Structure 1
Amino acid sequence: MNRLPCLFIASVCLWPLSAAAGEPAAHVHGAASLLVAIDGKNLTLNLESPLNNLVGFEHTPRTEKQKAAVRAMAERLNQPASLFIASPVAACTPLSVKLESPVLEPTKPAGDGHADLDGEFVFRCEHPEALRALEVGLFQAFPRLQRVDAQVAGPRGQSAVRLSPQQRNIAW
């Protein structure tokens, strides 16, 4: 099944919720956005964050320490089961991860401006009817992150919530 139409519909449906969640401006240090779409057995998470939240800088890595920070970020994000914990009864397992950022592509310099990371995390849930919540572990993995504006679209409707290091759970 082609996920593109479902994700497009979810994005269009969630657009009005951005104001309710206090969506961050295009690029706000300390803030990220997370779109959660539940479609059949698939749980799809789309994360957008300034690189500063994840590695502490936004330019092309110049030093070995900065290159190591980029590798560590990619390694953490490529283990989505430790960052996004769905309702255990739903039995969700990671299916795919896609990460896009100029610092991950050596042929495309990030420059010295404001650079982001876009991530797509897809989980397959054996019991999607039991999927009622998601714990977001990004704050522990990336301490510079202070808030995540999350929007959810699924069979139970739409919702929006602002997450913080103290409030890491989304329930629907």
Structure 2
Amino acid sequence: MNASPFSCLLAAACLLPVPALAGPPGAHVHGAARLQVAVDGSTLNLQLETPLASLVGFEHAPRTAQQKQALQAMADRLRQANEIFTPTPAARCTLVSVELESPLLQPSPPAGGDGHADLDGSFVFRCDDAAALRDLEVGLFASFPKLRRLDVQVAGPRGQSAARLSPQQRRVSW
């Protein structure tokens, strides 16, 4: 029996793991973001990576006063990370630092570019009772309605796990 080139290609694609079909890690997908959660002793580290379109609806240098205001409002909201990320209340975690990086948050955003600007956010919490830290409620969807999916990777004292969050499912547990 002779197989067509198409059926061979289809069979090979079916053997690939699903993430390989979705594109390389770090693929630029509007409406989606990635969150890495690391629990290290009493420290909870969160690393957010997302296209700016998922947060503000555009990725080019702001062209209007409204777009400049949208970028500023987004940055101000993310700096209030203790209102967006809620670790297990019993762990008594306190926000220690927030760092936001994007070419569009620079005092003079670059003109031109490839039109695919991202945002990288780093959020650090210190927890008084790290043993009680078991989950994280993520409020990004309420603050940024263009965000539809959040792929989460967790590394903690009980090992590694992954979850996909959505506006309907906003909590990751470990």
Report TM bin, short chain: 0.7 to 0.9
Residue correspondence of structure 1 range 124-163 to structure 2 within 5 A = 124-163=126-165
Report if aligned partners of 1:147, 1:164 keep a CA contact under 8 Å in 2. Answer: yes
User: Counterpart in 2 of 1:76?
Assistant: 77
Q: Deviations over 1:111-152 (max 9, x none)?
A: 351110000000000000000010000000000000000000
Q: Go from structure 1 to structure 2 and tell me whether the alpha carbon gap of 1:70 and 1:43 turns closer, same or farther (over 3 Å shift).
A: same
TM-score by length of 2: 0.84
Residue correspondence of structure 1 range 95-110 to structure 2 within 5 A = 95-109=96-110
Give the length in aligned residue pairs.
154
Runs of 4+ in 1 over 4 A off after TM superposition: 22-25
Q: Go from structure 1 to structure 2 and tell me whether the alpha carbon gap of 1:110 and 1:36 turns closer, same or farther (over 3 Å shift).
A: farther
| Cα distance in structure 2, aligned partners of 1:148 and 1:110 | 29
Structural RMSD (CA): 1.8
Structure 1 segments unaligned to the other structure (5+ residues): 1-17
Structure 2 segments unaligned to the other structure (5+ residues): 1-17
Match for 1:156: what amino acid?
R
Structure with max Cα Rg: 2
TM-score by length of 1: 0.85
Q: Go from structure 1 to structure 2 and tell me whether the alpha carbon gap of 1:168 and 1:98 turns closer, same or farther (over 3 Å shift).
A: same
- Between 1 and 2, higher relative CO (CA 8 Å, sep ≥ 6) is seen in 1
Match for 1:75: what amino acid?
D
User: Counterpart in 2 of 1:60?
Assistant: 61
SS in 2 for 1:148: strand
Q: Does residue 1:44 correspond to 2:45, yes or no?
A: yes
